[in-house]
Amino acid sequence: MLDLTTLKYKIIDHTADICVRVFGNSLEEIFISSAKAMMEIITDLEKVIPSKEISIRAQGENYEELLVKWLQEILYLHEVKKMVFKDFEIKIENATRAVGKAYGEKIALDRHEFFSNIKAVTYHNLKIISSKDKYRVDIVFDI
């Protein structure tokens, strides 16, 4: 499993939604950091116990669409299956397919505090930028 303590992202100002700028040394780090950032917008990850493992599959036409589909699947599991996730792993098989895992638990209202309700992951200005083995992407979440 990837060590998430070395991954970086920051929330940046955006007019109506929440936008995060995600950094990584690989596409996998970008996908994992994006998922972690999304979950941290939703809840306090320090209170999440990663006791359940959920498989995730995503498909897209390119890396940007694949990232959105990955995040949409995690958001779906949060909303429909009533889960929160703390850790992630992923294998990007090619620009159109990824498989991974999310580690978390069912929502416990007595323990989990919720900050924001993310309605959707958007494609607004979404472009994965790479230079010198470093990656960056800005992701806008509709809240």
pLDDT 10s digits, 69-120: 999 999 999 999 999 999 999 999 988 999 999 999 999 999 999 999 999 9
pTM: 0.88
- Tokens 């230079």 — which residue? 131
Q: What is the mean pLDDT of residues 131-136?
A: 92
Domain count, the chain: 1
At 61-82, the pLDDT tens digits run 999 999 999 999 999 999 999 9
pLDDT of residue 95: 86
Average pLDDT taken over every residue of the chain:
92
pLDDT at 56 exceeding the cut of 80:
yes
Q: Does residue 54 contact residue 77 with C-beta atoms inside 8 Å?
A: yes
The enclosing domain of 19 has a CATH number of 3.55.10.10
Rg over CA atoms, the chain? 14
Q: Which domain holds residue 62?
A: 4-142
CA 23 to the chain's CA centroid: 12
38 Cβ neighbours under 8 A, 6+ residues apart? 20, 71, 74, 75, 118, 121, 139, 141
